[in-house]
Structure 1
């Protein structure tokens, strides 16, 4: 395990950048503000897996701290807030929040970059049908970052949804924002395109309300998610406990 001083320092910086949303009204205001911003902005989400990942990946850590809006995602992060004596606010997971952003971009130009066919085309068709956006670009998530920068400059989408997974999408998002012409909103969406394209099924609503959607996903994809949840969750809790103990001292 990395030294306590390293991960605690990085966790502290990430937590300082997190924006907590306290009510549905505030969430709606955030959607409106992001959809009407006159400059390029980057939105990212932080869950327990992200907190584990920043410990060993400086580029990912820097990308998260450079995000314009960094949102708390998942029950693990809510637990961390409570352990440190803070208020966690609403669970702003991307799978629920990004569709709200898509709805706010009705009639506007959108790029979907991530996942693979046939799920990418299915996600694009669903976004156009349900949210009324114009999908001007859909690309798989396996190109080098320069390819997406070229696509952005050529097609000038107003909203870019990245579904490449951590940590690639956050690093790509930072490069897109730095080289943007126009004012696109760039959102790091994780598995959002897999959900929208039908590759991955959401947990039942009651499972989500209990805060254990991670367990449902693990049961559905045990091989891919074993390390993230079976190893990663206890590691996250251990680090959270050590942060709490250090804070008490």
Structure 2
């Protein structure tokens, strides 16, 4: 049996993703096309009650995806993303931890048409995209539209790089208190300063705009009933 009954996209949304959606209609459309969208990170945990939305569970993709793969019976899996040598090393770690047949591995800098052709030829049951936001979400949408077999498409971000040891995960205690972003910032300050520090202000601004819009909508008077003269 397939993991899903039709081409299905599983994505994770964090504060960086919200900022991308606020600044790009293409990113917004790509995230909206996800069939399952899971919350990732403490920023959204803080913001969602302000928007009268349920917080739900924190689903960090780096932890959740290997857990998901371990729960599935053996499948055919393709991994598209990152670059050598981390791609091969990350897949080796997945092979050690999961029961699947990894039928394809492609770096993350091909054209979308290349991934579509590979997926049509090999028909994997699961495709993991490890290209980073928002490219992986946009590629996922194109794959979903082009493929006609049952496939779960998972937007995995930096999961392969983490598994390969390219990036170091924060200690468990740091993860539990929601400060893994700070640990990563210390590791890669030049690359991540804009995302985490400057991005925090953009995220707060977006949340405030959404809250104001929600408040205006809830306080707007109900439309007057329409009467038809006889």
Normalising by the residue count of structure 2, what TM-score does the alignment of the two structures yield? 0.89
- Count of residues in correspondence between the two structures: 215
Is the counterpart of residue 59 in structure 1 residue 26 in structure 2?
Answer: yes
Q: CA deviation at 1:238?
A: 2.6
Alpha-carbon distance between aligned partners in 2 of 1:63 and 1:108, rounded to the nearest angstrom: 26
Deviation sequence 1:53-105 (CA, Å, 0-9, x none): 11221111111111111111111111111222332011012111111221133
Structure 2: runs of 5 or more not aligned: 217-230
Structure 1 CA distance, aligned partners of 2:35 and 2:123?
20
Pairing 1:74-113 to 2, within 5 Å after superposition:
74-113=41-80
CA RMSD in angstroms comes to 1.4
Residues 37-56 of structure 1: CA deviation (Å, up to 9, x unaligned)? 22110111111111111122
Offset at 1:242? 3.6
Partner in structure 1 of residue 109 of structure 2: 142
Measure, in 1, the Cα distance between the counterparts of 2:121 and 2:214.
49
Tell me by how many angstroms 1:245 deviates: 4.1
Higher CA-based Rg = 2
Match of 2:147 in 1: 180
Aligned position for 1:206: 173
Map Cα deviations across residues 114-150 of structure 1 (whole Å, 9 max, x no partner).
Answer: 1111111011111111112111111110111000001
Bigger helix share: 1
Greater relative contact order (CA < 8 Å, ≥ 6 in sequence): 2
Residue of structure 2 in register with 1:49 after alignment: 16
SS in 2 for 1:190: coil
Rounded Cα–Cα distance in structure 2 between residues aligned with 1:130 and 1:233: 35
Q: Does 1:197 align with 2:164?
A: yes
Using the alignment, how far apart are the partners of 1:59 and 1:47 within structure 2?
Answer: 17
SS where residue 45 of structure 1 aligns? strand
In the alignment, structure 1 segments of 5+ residues that lack a partner are 1-34
Structure 1 pair 201/106, CA: closer, same or farther in 2 (3 Å)?
farther
8 Å contact from structure 1 (residues 73, 91) kept in 2? yes
Task: Find the aligned partners of 1:198 and 1:105 in 2 and give their Cα distance.
Answer: 25
The one-character-per-residue Cα deviations of 1:164-216 (angstroms, maximum 9, x if unpaired) are 00111001001111111311100011111111111111111111111111111
How many angstroms apart in 1 are the aligned matches of 2:127 and 2:206?
Answer: 33
Deviation sequence 1:5-61 (CA, Å, 0-9, x none): xxxxxxxxxxxxxxxxxxxxxxxxxxxxxx732211011111111111112211111
TM-score (norm 1): 0.82
